[in-house]
Amino acid sequence: MLVTTRLVAITRAVSPKIGQCELTHLERQAIDARLAQAQHGQYEACLAGLGCELHRLPAEPDLPDSVFVEDTAVVLDELAIITRPGAASRRPETESVARALEPFRRLAFVRPPGTLDGGDLLHAGRVLTIGLSGRSNQAGIEQMRRLVEPYGYRVEGVPLAGCLHLKSAVTQVAEDMLLINREWVDGRIFQGLKLIDVDPEEPLAANALLVGGTVIYPADYPRTRRRLEEAGISVQTVDVSELAKAEGGVTCCSLIFREL
């Protein structure tokens, strides 16, 4: 008998106040909230087309960054960890995500003084690599280690330079392959995995979202896309240019996990 596991994707509608988002490495530009909502809808359609069961949370109108649900939780098969985002303005986002995850997983929580953004955590096999960024601190990493080591995961902290989150610098694009910008993170820690470098003209191109065997990828980076395709990776592009003005990428807009 063929047993297939369904993937659940939690997303949240774009706040009409997205223009007031947190920004760290980008200059503020006007964001067309309606266009951002339309692009987000296409992104959700892409997830559904790849077989994800969508759980769409209603917008949190007063939380500008709340579309970026990735930062609020880390979902493993064994448990879900509700984070404590590094930006204080984003901490109220976690409550509704915890409620949405409760039916699926036992919950654990990052507590003060720990901070952690889900965008800083790269999960490949039984290794969780966590970026020591402006958002995630050593106490957050230690708490994660205590929570997940009993389940056989190894936690590695890694310094970052020049980008917001670890997954701005490196993401998984196949079981054994990562897409990386080595200007921002040292590739040598990813032992045993093949590395594809972003095109030097596209430094922001390392954020890709692997769903099943397909990578959801921003239309803005055609040169790096070619590198992915040359490596045999199946790519579906989405236009997320308006969300990118809020410093968001394709991993940030969903929490994807197996329905057990």
Read out DSSP for 39-86? HHHHHHHHHHHTTEEEEEEPP-TT-TTTT-GGGGEEE-SS-EEE---S
Rounded Cα distance between 12 and 45, Å, is: 13
Q: Does 32 bind ligand CIR (CB under 6 A)?
A: no
Q: Does 249 bind ligand CIR (CB under 6 A)?
A: yes
Region class of 205: left (phi > 0), else alpha (psi between -120 and 50), else beta: alpha
Residues 68-107 that bind ligand CIR (CB under 6 A): 68, 70-71, 87, 90
User: Is 25 designated active site?
Assistant: no
Q: Which is nearer to ligand CIR, 131 or 157 (CB)?
A: 131
Give the residue, chosen from 247, 254, 256, 257, that forms a contact with ligand CIR under the rule CB under 6 A.
Answer: 247
Q: Which is nearer to ligand CIR, 83 or 224 (CB)?
A: 83
Residues 151-190 that bind ligand CIR (CB under 6 A): 164-165, 167
Q: Does 33 bind ligand CIR (CB under 6 A)?
A: no
Q: Which is nearer to ligand CIR, 88 or 231 (CB)?
A: 88
Q: Which is nearer to ligand CIR, 202 or 230 (CB)?
A: 202
Residues 223-242 that bind ligand CIR (CB under 6 A): none
Per-residue buried b or exposed e for 190-227, using 16+ beta carbons within 10 Å of the residue's own CB? beebeebbbeeebbbbbbbbbbeebbbbbebbeebbeb
Q: Does 12 bind ligand CIR (CB under 6 A)?
A: no
User: Is 123 designated active site?
Assistant: no
Give the residue, chosen from 9, 12, 100, 119, that forms a contact with ligand CIR under the rule CB under 6 A.
Answer: 119
Phi and psi torsions of 37, nearest 5°: -65, -40
Give catalytic residues, as residue numbers.
165, 252
